[in-house]
Structure 1
Amino acid sequence: MTGTRDPLEQLRSALAGVPWSEEAARLTDDELLAAMGALEAVGRLVDASRVAFAGEVAERSRVELGDQRLSTRRGCRSAAELIERVTLVSGAEARRRIALGGATRARFGFTGEPLAPEFPRIAAALAAGELGADAAGTIIRELGRARPVADPAVFAAAEQALVAEATGGGDGGPVRCTADELRVQAQAWSVFLDQDGREPDDERAMRRRGFRLGRARDGLIPVTGELMPEVAAKLTRLFDAHLAPRSGGGFMTDEERSRIAEFGETRTADQQRHDVLAAAIDTAARSGEHPMIGGAAPTVLVSVRASDIESGRGVAHADGVEVPISHRAARHMMCTGGTQKVVFDDDGRIITLGSPERCFTPHQRRAITLRDGGCLIPGCSVAAAWCEIHHVIPDADGGPTHPDNGVLLCWFHHRTIDTSGWGIRMLRGVPQIRPPAWLDPGGGWRPVTKSPTRLADQHDRRPAA
């Protein structure tokens, strides 16, 4: 124990004593890149050791050992949890190390004879510091899919070829593939090794399909998963339908439309796809075609203190996610879905339970839809069925939940209406809009609609030329 631990402690102390930021700032460009490469080489050796230790922890925590499992004896449910607690890494990282360690550690047969690792060439390159853990994991993950059906000799050749590409030992000389480049090559090898055709691949895809919400990071919830190809095709077509350029703004001139096309869209393509998905989820929840929860349509509960809403301090909380949401997001959801006042005493007992308020009825929504015809922001092509209803005068300011105070906005424009610069007001029950100053510095209020019937009426009322 001491023979292994003491050198590691000495290395840690030596590295901890270097002011890395100051050291990097003093280096020339060539020295900086050379030093970074040297540090990465050290990191590869450290990663190889981490993987080996994780694999050994997993081996000593095998299920068949029962109460003698290392993880059980240390009060943990699994090897991954034990590694998490000792190293303080995430569960995902612990599982990654275990998988890589299991695939590259030496094995033993039923009679105790030593066996080569599942991926012996990767194991050797990893232990020598020639192959990084991310590249090794990429090869193992991609080739592992074809291993059950691949010819062993061809499989070994594929492993050797990929390791050579990653370490610079291939025909291309010293140029190494990055982990991303290696993934593309490994996927090609996996397809070549799989001799079963598309039907078994489809069966594996059915088993592996999934959709996962990750842990909150930087105020966002990461999404991962694998979609069946036909589901991905449908989702892609849905995005295409809503993100395709369309002309909009019936009251606008051609010049104004061109300005919207040039300056109006500030979202990236990824952000636009996110907003389409948000609208699709809201539309599905309103459709009435999904299972009820507690006798009502699927509804997200958002809790926030009334004093915090009034003061603008603190945060709100939505059930189902661990990260708090902003007051802006809470007001957006309150405007869309209504509120219900719940009063607690100092001990947490419910003492007042109000009735749901501020929620537009289906009849009101249909009337507003006929009047507005879609998201009222010029240049926005989101259809009425995908829109939310925005209280023009907020409830907190005395605004009623009435068609004379509600307009259609898509998810994005509703979410950003307070900060985007677009102005909306109601004049005798008719919506009017004012563009932001950066788009039209001298712009005034104009009636707005995307209802084809109202647009036809406006056309008929125009004086003949």
Structure 2
Amino acid sequence: MNSPTLVDLTEAVPTALPVASMGGLDDEALLAAIREIEALGRHVDALRIAGAGEIAARSRTEDGPAGLAARKGCRSANELLQRLTQVSSATGAARLGLAALTRPDTALSGAAMPAKFDHVRAALEAGELGVDAAIALMKNLAPLQDRVHPDALDAAEKELVAAATGTSPDCSMPASADEIRIQASVWRATLDPDGLEPDEAHAMAKRGFRLGPERNGLVPVSGGLLPEAAGRVKRLFDAYLTPTTAPAFLTDEELADKNAVKDPRSKDQQRHDILIGVLDAMARSGNTPTVGGAAPTVLVTVRAEDLDTGGAGYADGVESPLSPTTVQQMVCSGGTQKVLIGRNGRILKLGSAERCFTAPQRRAITARDGGCLIPGCSIPAGWCEVHHVIPAAAEGGPTHPDNGVLLCWFHHRTIDTSGWAIRMRAGAPEVQAPPWLDHMRRWRPATKSRTAMAAQVAQHGP
């Protein structure tokens, strides 16, 4: 099939479906219209790529001031393309990159030469291959041009184009651009397994994790993980991002309401909370390097009067102040140590740590609770914080297993606002669900400990 001409497309556009009429189509007509529009778009993309290639050919560096881009006051073909079409630099670079690999060339003798990736060129010009699939294919095969035999590379290109256009006997429908990217990466690894080593060495040098400056109460995170590291992180998240188990005390009618047990957090928020739990557990494990002779601990300072009345605190290494709610949560789980400072800044008195559950107390609470006490939460005991049921700071609640329960970071942070309530009855915790989850507001015994559950079964057994 010949490449569409400008006249062809000009004639096609007036017959295109008016945008406003999309809503009046039935399902099948809508799908048919979208297929036609996409086919037209692929033809337009082929002309865009061809046009970008022609601009690049007329703007070669060796042409100097005589080049098209230079004559139009632009530093490069990409800049000329951006100013001409208002596309982004990335889009311009993608078009130019595809054009460089799919534009037929001319030998020094003047003879015509096929494009470097002629199967891709033909499929693009025929409107059978989309730009996204072409880019996914090229990114994997283009680096192999000088590394593998041309026949092997040609076979890979041909197979991938067939898969993307649905003409392969092994596929019943065209593969998506994401599927082509995966298939192309497999071809690349198969054709050039040794080529993976330089890529991994480059990735090894580029790996990193960065914390940016705080903005609007959040500290941005950026960086890059090695594939095997990302795999571990994803599997960890997957393990704790499975659909939430419904609270066991709900009736069949309440369980039928799927919205009643839906976790209010987004997946990103859940990943954040899981990461905090992992870091806390690691810091408590005793296997981390010490800081000043102690396990890594966030130091939060707050004036004594502010601690009692609800004032802001300040965390070491973080510029923005912490809200009274955050301060109270950290005091609840981490305890306090009083430091008396004189008017001249001298330390006058250093108190001992208090309101902090000891390691033996934590083990006992873990044996009783077995994990985050909130029904449906799957965070394990090792990642949880110990919460004072009767607040230690405001109400003088004792730091004793009879007053401590396990809560994950999120449920600890929101225990005063989420509607969940916890009380201790003869040293055993009970939980009350929010009104929207249990309108009868019943108190129920709560534990995730299988040993405790076994004891309850034995107690009520025959």
Is the TM-score greater than 0.5?
yes
**Cα distance change, pair 431–291 in 1 and its aligned pair in 2 (3 A):** same
- 1:122 — aligned with what? 78
Residue among 383, 388, 403 paired with 1:386: 383
The whole-number CA distance in structure 1 between the counterparts of 2:388 and 2:209 is: 34
The whole-number CA distance in structure 2 between the counterparts of 1:354 and 1:143 is: 68
The whole-number CA distance in structure 1 between the counterparts of 2:440 and 2:233 is: 41
Residues 290 and 297 in structure 1, CA contact (< 8 A), matched pair in contact too: yes
**Cα distance change, pair 383–261 in 1 and its aligned pair in 2 (3 A):** farther
The whole-number CA distance in structure 1 between the counterparts of 2:452 and 2:239 is: 25
Q: Which ranges in structure 1 are unaligned for 5 or more consecutive residues?
A: 1-29, 31-105, 158-169
- 1:243 — aligned with what? 241
**Cα distance change, pair 437–249 in 1 and its aligned pair in 2 (3 A):** closer
- 1:15 — aligned with what? none
Q: Does 1:355 align with 2:362?
A: no
The list of structure 1 runs, each at least 4 consecutive aligned residues, that deviate by more than 6 angstroms after superposition, is: 112-119, 170-173
- 1:401 — aligned with what? 399
Q: Secondary structure at the match of 1:418?
A: coil
Residues 392 and 405 in structure 1, CA contact (< 8 A), matched pair in contact too: yes
Q: Secondary structure at the match of 1:194?
A: helix
**Superposition map of 1:427-438 within 5 A:** 427-438=425-436
Q: Secondary structure at the match of 1:340?
A: strand
Residue among 206, 209, 214 paired with 1:208: 206
Cα deviations across residues 146-183 of structure 1 (Å, max 9, x unaligned)? x9xx9x964999xxxxxxxxxxxx9799xxx9xxx98x
**Cα distance change, pair 129–445 in 1 and its aligned pair in 2 (3 A):** same
Residue among 246, 265, 268 paired with 1:267: 265
The whole-number CA distance in structure 2 between the counterparts of 1:198 and 1:331 is: 51
**Cα distance change, pair 373–251 in 1 and its aligned pair in 2 (3 A):** farther
Cα deviations across residues 187-246 of structure 1 (Å, max 9, x unaligned)? 654434323632221111111111111121221111111111111111110011112236
Residues 432 and 445 in structure 1, CA contact (< 8 A), matched pair in contact too: yes
The whole-number CA distance in structure 2 between the counterparts of 1:377 and 1:185 is: 49
Q: Which moved more, 1:452-461 or 1:386-395?
A: 452-461
Q: Secondary structure at the match of 1:341?
A: strand
Task: Give TM-score scaled by structure 2 length.
Answer: 0.62
> Following TM superposition, by how much is the alpha carbon of 1:449 offset from its aligned partner in structure 2, in angstroms?
1.2
- 2:191 — aligned with what? none
> Following TM superposition, by how much is the alpha carbon of 1:400 offset from its aligned partner in structure 2, in angstroms?
1.3
The whole-number CA distance in structure 1 between the counterparts of 2:61 and 2:340 is: 62
Percent identical residues: 50
The whole-number CA distance in structure 2 between the counterparts of 1:114 and 1:402 is: 84
Residues 213 and 222 in structure 1, CA contact (< 8 A), matched pair in contact too: yes
Q: Does 1:345 align with 2:342?
A: yes
Residues 257 and 379 in structure 1, CA contact (< 8 A), matched pair in contact too: no
Residues 264 and 379 in structure 1, CA contact (< 8 A), matched pair in contact too: no
The whole-number CA distance in structure 1 between the counterparts of 2:90 and 2:382 is: 45
- 1:136 — aligned with what? 89
Q: Which ranges in structure 2 are unaligned for 5 or more consecutive residues?
A: 1-19, 21-59, 105-123, 148-194
CA RMSD of aligned residues (A): 3.9
The whole-number CA distance in structure 1 between the counterparts of 2:314 and 2:126 is: 55
The whole-number CA distance in structure 1 between the counterparts of 2:355 and 2:103 is: 66
**Cα distance change, pair 249–437 in 1 and its aligned pair in 2 (3 A):** closer
The whole-number CA distance in structure 2 between the counterparts of 1:130 and 1:359 is: 64
The whole-number CA distance in structure 2 between the counterparts of 1:210 and 1:199 is: 19
**Cα distance change, pair 257–388 in 1 and its aligned pair in 2 (3 A):** farther
